[in-house]
Amino acid sequence: MKETKFIDHTVLKATSTKEDVKKLCEEAIKYDFMSVCINPCFVKDAHEFLQGSGVLTCTVIGFPLGANTIATKVFETKDAIQNGAEEIDMVINIGKAKEHDYDYIEEEIRAVVEAANGTLVKVIIETCYLTDEEKVEVCRRAVNAKAHYVKTSTGFGTGGATQTDVKLMKDTVLDKALVKASGGVRTKADFDAMVSAGASRIGTSNGTTIFGGGNNDSNASY
């Protein structure tokens, strides 16, 4: 697979506009990225901008805190897919993970996977807030719930992706799921390090800089 197809080209700032999303889509088409990842209110717009391009429309659920109820995440998922989302990145309930209520985590992931009804689901575990033991157990529960990916970060926490976390996650899920690295991937060296550690997808707002030397600061935190 060509390297640009590892990229989920991302703009998730609160101040993002329809014009920002249009620019993001144009860049994703130009560089042949795998997807654009945008807030749910822009799913219809992105899907229209990307029509016929081969670039997928990805959106976020329970973002960025993960503290929505399961019913809300299920509704968000169904609504997003109805509007044209082709991939779903959901945030787990981080507080429940810290309480070690892993049954709840598995239940909510499964509920979103079932609501997605075959649409690819990535589970954001927000590694910066979890111990290694918690990361491993959450990844195991994501596998149990039939998620397609586990993902490091929202890009809005206290830290982003690290090689150590990506490797730990990959060693946990093995061939039962894939790993997405996001948060702080800004250079080709960062990209290479994450792929080397086991990432199959990279979430970043810096894809044009990584592959074309361009300047894209649409969401510097991501």
For residues 39 and 16, the answer to whether their CB atoms sit within 8 Å is yes
**Which residues, including other chains, have CB under 8 Å from residue 14's CB and lie 6 or more apart?**
none
Residue 30 in 3-state DSSP? helix
Rounded Cα–Cα distance for residues 192 and 101 (Å): 35
Mean residue pLDDT of the chain comes to 96
Q: Do residues 185 and 160 touch, judged by C-beta distance below 8 A?
A: yes
Strands 87-91 vs 201-204: parallel, antiparallel or unpaired: unpaired
Q: pLDDT tens across 81-99, in order?
A: 999 999 999 999 999 999 9
* Options 3.20.20.70, 1.10.1660.10, 3.90.198.10, 3.90.1010.10; CATH of 3-212: 3.20.20.70
pTM, entire model: 0.95
pLDDT score recorded for residue 214: 53
Q: Please identify every residue annotated as catalytic.
A: 89, 151, 180
Confidence check: pLDDT of 212 > 60: yes
pLDDT tier, 1 (very low <50, low <70, confident <90, very high otherwise): confident
What number is the average pLDDT over the span 197-219? 83
Q: Say what the pLDDT of residue 222 is.
A: 61
Burial class, 117, CB count within 10 angstroms (exposed 0-12 / middle 13-18 / buried 19+):
exposed
Query: Given a cut of 60, is residue 220 above it in pLDDT?
Result: no
pLDDT tier at 221, thresholds 50, 70, 90: very low
Torsion, CA 180, CA 184, CA 188, CA 193, rounded to 10: -60
Contact criterion met (CB below 8 Å) for 105 and 97: yes
**Residue 76 structure tokens:** 């968000």
**Residue 215's pLDDT is what?**
53
- Please report, to the nearest 10 degrees, the dihedral formed by the alpha carbons of residues 206, 209, 214, 215 taken in order: 40
